Amino acid sequence: MSIQQLLPLLLLFPLIGAFINGTAGKKLPKIVAGSLATLMTFVSFLIALTIFLNLDQPVRSLLFTMIDIDSLHLDAALYADNLSMWMTLIITGVGSLIHLFSMGYMSHDKGYYKFFTYLNLFIFSMLILVLGSNYFMLFFGWEGVGICSYLLIGFHYDDEQKGLLNGLAARKAFIMNRIGDLGLLIGLFLMLLSFGTLEYEQVSRMVLVDKILPNGNMLFAITICLFIGATGKSAQIPLFTWLPDAMAGPTPVSALIHAATMVTAGIFLVVRSNYLFHYAPFTREIILYIGLATSIVAAFIALRQNDIKKVLAYSTVSQLGLIFVALGLEAYTTAIFHVTTHAFFKALLFLGSGSVIHAMSGEQDIRKMGGLKDKIRITHITFLIGTLAISGFPLFSGFYSKDEILGYAFGHSLTIYILLVISVTMTAIYMFRLYFVVFHGTFRDSKDVEHHVHESPLSMTLPLMVLAVLSVIGGVLNLPGIFLHGSGTHFLNNLLNKNVAGLDQIHNVHPDHTTTLILMGVAVAICLTTLFISSIVYKKKGSVPSEDAQLSAWETFSNKKMYWDELYDILFVKPIEWFSKVFYTIVDSFILSGIIEGVVRTVAFSGDIVRKWQTGKVNSYILWMVFGIIGFITYYLIKL
């Protein structure tokens, strides 16, 4: 089978899974429903792998023409190059693992089949997003994953206490995403205006080969609109507050959607449009600073969060910020590299936290945990690996990817480098805090809960182990040149440069070996120091995160998420609600309806006046008749 034929199949399998589970899932045994969904995703993964291995040139596969009006031609087509296939591999690969994990994690949930329907649907949408051959298809997937995200965040809508809150979180996610989507949509319009097409191939050919470029302002507008879309989906300032709230969804969802795949869509978008961003340096600046700010802000907030998933959520936001810094520096392959490693270790961490929560019978507050390391051994080890990977522990995957970013930042400007280092340091601090508080010390919840603590089943631990291995060895995907010389290094770099439009034309200057070594040294030092201090603070001294009331000023600031939600509430929500009330009660009900009522009343009132003319007396009738005649004659005389 040719790649053209395989590509639609890639999409078809998750869709079939979703369809079967959606229609007949209720009647299927749980194990069948779960395995079906997992299998479908895994088959997709295998197909993706086949395509990936056989792919030389970008391949476009037309499904059908969606809209064909004279000026507007939009195809439903798929497009495979190394970038999209790489993303597909991550999505289906990590996706399969998380599906597998979910089979165990969700086993007690009554919405089991529904969960897998949504998951498969998500995979499908995500694949459309990365495999679509034009921005229009991308937008389809873009919104599709938004819907799935909405459905999955609000999955436990019927919860006794938090049902409505879960719904609220889902709604918030959807709305904030939509704000970004509007930006993206406008970007699309602008591209249609300046290029007349949304096909990647045609746009890239125009920009790269024909050198037909819109003027600077237009290019800035296009790229900034695309970036606004990216901030929505990838949770950057100012649209990031939905992601922590999105943790209301089941943990596998957080792992799959809100850590490994969906939130990287924004990065994919920027990398996909790299040739546009290349000519829009000002936008890149903005991306750089937004990414930097997000990275620091989120890391700071994560310092004093007590919900295990919230910590990881802010960590995700922070890491995404880091990746955007890379994008701002035009280090696209590095960004993808970090996306990949991040997918591994963040999925691992989330799944690990899921396993912890599973063990804790649903408790998420780290203040109630502690000393779990012996009770759930596999989870503990894998979680530790994850923590080390994200903190940049030497030779773990995160170490390489993060280091590359730091290297480029250093090359760009020292200030940015220092700021990034601060962010990275904070990452290490809160991750070790999390790790130690959860797994070391003494168990702090009731005996009842302690009694129930148990290791998860194999279906859950197996993905953890696989991911742990990947987190460790993920670095080999793009080894820096200083360790090995020759074909082994910069695998991902070469891969992406091979047939992804635009990337091959960008030549980032790698820092020289000495600098690289120094930077690595700094990173390692930071990581180890933090580890050391943390272990003293939390392990030796057994400190426990203090209650909210006892926090110092900066801690409260961090704990309260820097009051972003409150700020948005005052800036947007409250005024709109006020407008809503004013529009309804004053403008609509009072003024506009009042005018109508007023007219009706005036007419009725004048009717009453006119009626008074009719007195019932014959004399007056005749009087008026005479007046009428006199009037007639007067008119005649005047006219005369």
Partner 1 sequence: MIALITLFVTGLITLFVAFTRKPLLVGIIATIGLIGGLFGLMYESRYGIRLFPDYHGLNFDTTAVMFSFICIIFTTLLVWTGFKPLTENENHAGDHIALMIFSLCGALIMTSFTDFFMFFLGLEILSIPVYVLAGMKKSDALSSEASLKYFLTGSFATGILLFGIAWIYGSTGSFDLLEIKNAILNSTHNSSLLYVGVLLVLASFLFKIGAVPYHFWSPDVYAGSPATIMGFMASVVKIAAFAAILRLFTDTFDSISGVWGPLVLGVSVLSMFVGNLSAIKQTRVRRLLAYSSIAHVGYALLAVVTFDSVETTTYHYNVYYYLLAYGLATIILITAENIINDESDDIENWVGIARKNPILGLFIIMAILSLAGVPPMMGFFGKYLIFSQAIYDYPYIVAIALLNSGIGIYYYLKLIVKVLRKPYEAPKFDKLIICSLQWIVLIISGVLLLIGGFLLLLF
Partner 2 sequence: MEGTLLNSGVSLQFYIILATIIFCIGVLGVMIRRNAIIILMCVELMLNAVNLLMVAFSNYHGKGDGQIFVFFIMVVAAAEATVGLSILVLLYRNRKTVDIGLFNKLKD
Partner 3 sequence: MELLILPLALSLVSLIIPKSTRRFAALLGALASIVIAVVHLTSFHAGAFVELFSSNHQTFFRMTYQMGYDGLGLAMILLTNVIVFVILLANFENVNIASNKMFNSMVFLMQFALLGVFTSFDLILFYIFWELSLIPVFLIAFWFGEKDRKRTLLIFFIYTFIGSLAMLFSIFYIGTLTTGNYDYQTLVDIEMNTKTALVVCMGFFFAFAVKIPLFPFHTWQPETYTKSPMAGTMLLSGLMLKMALFGILRWMLPLTPEAYHCYKYVIIVLGLIGVIYAAVIAMKQNDLKKIFAYASISHVGLIAAGLMILSIDAFTGAVVQMVNHAFVAVGLFLAADIIDRRLGRRDIQTLGGIAVKAPKFAFWFAVICFAAVSVPLTSGFIGEFLLIKELFTDNAWIGVLIGTTLILACVYTFRAYQLSMYGKESSFNFNDLTITEIITFAIISIIVVVFGIYPQLLIDLVKPSLETILMTIKESSI
**Interface residues with partner 2 (CB under 8 A)?**
611-612, 614-619, 622-623, 626
**Least spacing, CB of residue 360 vs partner 3, in Å:** 23
Q: Which sign does the torsion angle of CA 381, 383, 387, 393 carry?
A: positive
Task: Count the alpha carbons within 13 Å of 388 in the hemisphere toward its beta carbon.
Answer: 20
Q: Which is nearer to partner 3, 418 or 586 (CB)?
A: 586
Residue 593 interacts with partner 1 (CB under 8 A): yes or no: no
Matching residue, tokens 């498969």: 120
How many whole angstroms separate alpha carbon 438 and alpha carbon 419?
A: 29
Site for partner 3 in 188-217 (CB under 8 A): 188-189, 192-193
Q: Which is nearer to partner 3, 169 or 500 (CB)?
A: 169
Residue 632 contacts which entry, partner 1, partner 2, partner 3, none (Cβ below 5-8 A, type-dependent): partner 1
Q: CB under 8 A: which stretch of 119-127, 150-158, 480-488, 618-626 binds partner 1?
A: 618-626
Residue 522 makes CB contacts below 8 A (sequence gap 6+) with 421
In this structure, what DSSP letter does residue 149 have?
A: H
Residue 146 interacts with partner 3 (CB under 8 A): yes or no: yes
**Least spacing, CB of residue 614 vs partner 2, in Å:** 5
Tell me, residue by residue from 60 to 99, as one string, x for binding to partner 3 by CB under 8 A and - for no binding.
Answer: ----xxxxxxxxx---x-----------------------
User: Residue 481 CB: number of other CB atoms within 10 A?
Assistant: 15
3-state secondary structure of 77: strand
Residue 596 interacts with partner 1 (CB under 8 A): yes or no: no
**Least spacing, CB of residue 305 vs partner 3, in Å:** 26
Contact with partner 1 (CB under 8 A): which of 189, 282, 572, 635?
Answer: 635
Chain centroid to CA 519: 30
Tell me, residue by residue from 542 to 581, as one string, x for binding to partner 3 by CB under 8 A and - for no binding.
Answer: ----------------------------------xx-xxx
**Least spacing, CB of residue 593 vs partner 2, in Å:** 30
Site for partner 3 in 506-535 (CB under 8 A): none
Q: CB under 8 A: which stretch of 215-223, 362-370, 510-518, 599-607 binds partner 1?
A: 599-607
Amino acid at 94: V
How many whole angstroms separate alpha carbon 265 and alpha carbon 239?
A: 14
**Least spacing, CB of residue 597 vs partner 3, in Å:** 8
Residue 195 contacts which entry, partner 2, partner 1, partner 3, none (Cβ below 5-8 A, type-dependent): none
Residue 381 interacts with partner 3 (CB under 8 A): yes or no: no
Instruction: Name the maximum alpha-carbon separation found in the chain.
Output: 122
Q: Report which secondary-structure segment, H or E, holds 6.
A: helix 3-24
Contact with partner 3 (CB under 8 A): which of 29, 163, 521, 631?
Answer: 163
Q: How many chain residues bind partner 1 (CB under 8 A)? A: 28
3-state secondary structure of 14: helix
Residue 71 contacts which entry, partner 1, partner 2, partner 3, none (Cβ below 5-8 A, type-dependent): partner 3
**Least spacing, CB of residue 589 vs partner 2, in Å:** 34
Which residues sit opposite 233 in a β-bridge? Answer: none
Matching residue, tokens 């919900």: 307
Residue 109 interacts with partner 3 (CB under 8 A): yes or no: no
How many whole angstroms separate alpha carbon 423 and alpha carbon 415?
A: 12
Instruction: State phi, psi for 61 to the nearest 5 degrees.
Output: -130, 115
Residue 624 interacts with partner 1 (CB under 8 A): yes or no: yes
Judged on CB neighbours under 10 Å (0-12, 13-18, 19+), 289 is middle
**Least spacing, CB of residue 569 vs partner 2, in Å:** 60
Amino acid at 168: L
Question: Residues for the chain: how many in total?
Answer: 640
Residue 175 interacts with partner 3 (CB under 8 A): yes or no: yes
Contact with partner 1 (CB under 8 A): which of 27, 69, 608, 638?
Answer: 608
How many whole angstroms separate alpha carbon 201 and alpha carbon 193?
A: 17
Matching residue, tokens 């040149």: 481
Closest Cα partner for 348 from 445, 440, 473, 244? 473
Structure tokens at 358: 């599973």
Binding site for partner 1 (CB under 8 A): 600, 603-604, 606-611, 613-614, 616, 618, 620-622, 624-625, 627-629, 631-633, 635-636, 639-640
